[in-house]
Amino acid sequence: MAETKLSCFKDKRWSLHGMTTLVTGGTRGIGLAIAKELAEFGAVVHVCARNQQDIDRCVEEWNKKGFRITGSDQRENLMKNVASIFKGKLNIMINNAGTASTKSVLDYTEKM
């Protein structure tokens, strides 16, 4: 298993061992960095993103490093999937997903 950041600390208070984490938008930018950091501290992480190919690429890379990270792109069933993977226990949720739109604020509707 990969050496974790925890090994750099004498104080074990920073351990996230046994914690379950969901990171939305976890395959790019800040979400990617957060998912990796949480895994390095021992958390079990599930990421979601819009592109399954990005998820597969990231999960494969993380698994090679020994991180316990899974991923999915099913936004509609996300919480059901996460509840199943983590057996109903979610300790940390990072709601990082976002999108940019160039519409005028007056052009938005309830559906976007």
Q: Which CATH class is domain 5-96?
A: alpha beta
Q: Provide the residue ranges of all domains of the chain, joining segments of one domain with +.
A: 5-96
DSSP 2: P
Task: Return the ∠ at Cα 36 (arms to 32 and 40), rounded to 5°.
Answer: 170
Look at residue 48 in the predicted model and tell me its pLDDT: 92
DSSP secondary structure, 72-85, as one string:
E--STTHHHHHHHH
In the chain, which stretches have pLDDT less than 70? 1-12, 100-101, 110-112
Look at residue 2 in the predicted model and tell me its pLDDT: 52
